[in-house]
């Protein structure tokens, strides 16, 4: 790619990131939360390495991918300084590969995959930061623990020494109106509070909110928002 193309990309992505960071700060102010409490995860899935490089040059650190193969390939091609979050469904046979790159796994959606992560992380002598994904809307097409199941199974997961459970993650149903997501975010926060209380653990994290509804997610307590198209557009 020609240099002025890359310059244009950096300008474009830098300005979008600035806009989003401003909105995040506003949402924090509205809800009386410190701005530093919210991590912006830039979802780069389907976008090629120059887009990620442009974002890194614009100061972005955290990146999200939903497929292991794509994440690993991209991570090997972009400049240093990125922190990788796997945000999609993870299969057992890809756990080891995922852990070569990812510091965070947001889509821990069943007890079996938590056990796999614990075993592999243990073999490698490291700790993995995870979110437990919950299907709060109950849609049949969505991955995730049911609310009942996450309450029942969280205690076993909290006992896994190589997993550092940050909190809960969810995806709100697709909707035309961002406000429609609020009740799912509230539900996830309440569930997070309940799981933490019953297990007697501190559970600060909530991974929720995407391009269309991240401000509402922050108003309802999100600590990690996963924003793709608002940063990278549909073409980058």
**Contact call for residue 171 and ligand PLP (CB under 6 A):** yes
Sequence-ordered list of residues with C-beta below 8 angstroms from that of 130, at least 6 positions apart, any chain: 104, 105, 106, 108, 114, 117, 163, 164, 165, 166
- Of 210 and 236, nearer to ligand PLP (C-beta) is 210
**Contact call for residue 227 and ligand PLP (CB under 6 A):** yes
- Of 168 and 197, nearer to ligand PLP (C-beta) is 168
Neighbours of 235 (CB within 10 A): 6
Q: Total number of residues binding ligand PLP (CB under 6 A)?
A: 13
**Contact call for residue 43 and ligand PLP (CB under 6 A):** yes
CB of residue 23 vs ligand PLP: minimum separation in angstroms?
Answer: 13
Q: Binding to ligand PLP (CB under 6 A): which residues in 57-86?
A: 66
Q: Which stretch binds ligand PLP (CB under 6 A): 71-79, 97-105, 179-187, 223-231?
A: 223-231
CA dihedral 190, 165, 86, 125 (to 10 degrees): 180
Q: Are 40 and 60 in contact (CB under 8 A)?
A: yes
Sequence-ordered list of residues with C-beta below 8 angstroms from that of 143, at least 6 positions apart, any chain: 89, 107, 109, 133, 135
CB of residue 174 vs ligand PLP: minimum separation in angstroms?
Answer: 9
Q: Which stretch binds ligand PLP (CB under 6 A): 4-12, 19-27, 119-127, 227-235?
A: 227-235
- Of 88 and 147, nearer to ligand PLP (C-beta) is 88
**Contact call for residue 222 and ligand PLP (CB under 6 A):** no
Q: Measured at CB, which residue is nearest to ligand PLP?
A: 228
Q: Which stretch binds ligand PLP (CB under 6 A): 12-20, 24-32, 216-224, 228-236?
A: 228-236
- Of 22 and 159, nearer to ligand PLP (C-beta) is 22
**Contact call for residue 211 and ligand PLP (CB under 6 A):** yes
**Contact call for residue 88 and ligand PLP (CB under 6 A):** yes
- Of 73 and 198, nearer to ligand PLP (C-beta) is 73
Q: Which residues contact ligand PLP by CB under 6 A?
A: 43, 45, 66, 87-88, 171, 210-211, 226-230
């Amino acid at each position: 790619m020609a240099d002025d193309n890359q310059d244009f990309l950096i300008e474009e992505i830098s300005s979008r990131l600035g806009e989003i960071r401003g909105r995040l700060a506003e949402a924090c102010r509205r809800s009386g939360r410190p701005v530093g409490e919210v991590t912006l995860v830039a979802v780069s899935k389907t976008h090629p390495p120059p887009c990620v490089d442009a974002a890194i040059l614009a100061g972005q650190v955290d990146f999200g991918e939903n497929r292991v193969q794509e994440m690993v390939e991209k991570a090997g091609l972009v400049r240093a300084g990125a922190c990788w979050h796997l945000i999609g469904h993870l299969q057992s046979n890809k756990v080891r590969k995922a852990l070569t790159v990812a510091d965070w796994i947001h889509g821990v959606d069943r007890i079996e995959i938590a056990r796999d992560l614990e075993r592999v992380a243990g073999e490698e002598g490291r700790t993995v930061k995870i979110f437990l994904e919950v299907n709060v809307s109950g849609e049949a097409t969505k991955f995730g623990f049911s609310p009942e199941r996450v309450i029942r199974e969280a205690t076993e997961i909290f006992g896994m020494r190589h997993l550092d459970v940050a909190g809960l993650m969810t995806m709100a149903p697709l909707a035309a109106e961002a406000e429609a997501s609020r009740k799912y975010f509230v539900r996830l926060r309440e569930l997070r509070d309940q799981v933490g209380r019953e297990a007697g653990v501190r559970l600060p994290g909530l991974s929720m909110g995407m391009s269309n509804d991240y401000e509402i997610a922050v108003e309802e307590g999100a600590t990690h928002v996963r924003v793709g198209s608002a940063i990278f557009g549909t073409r980058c």
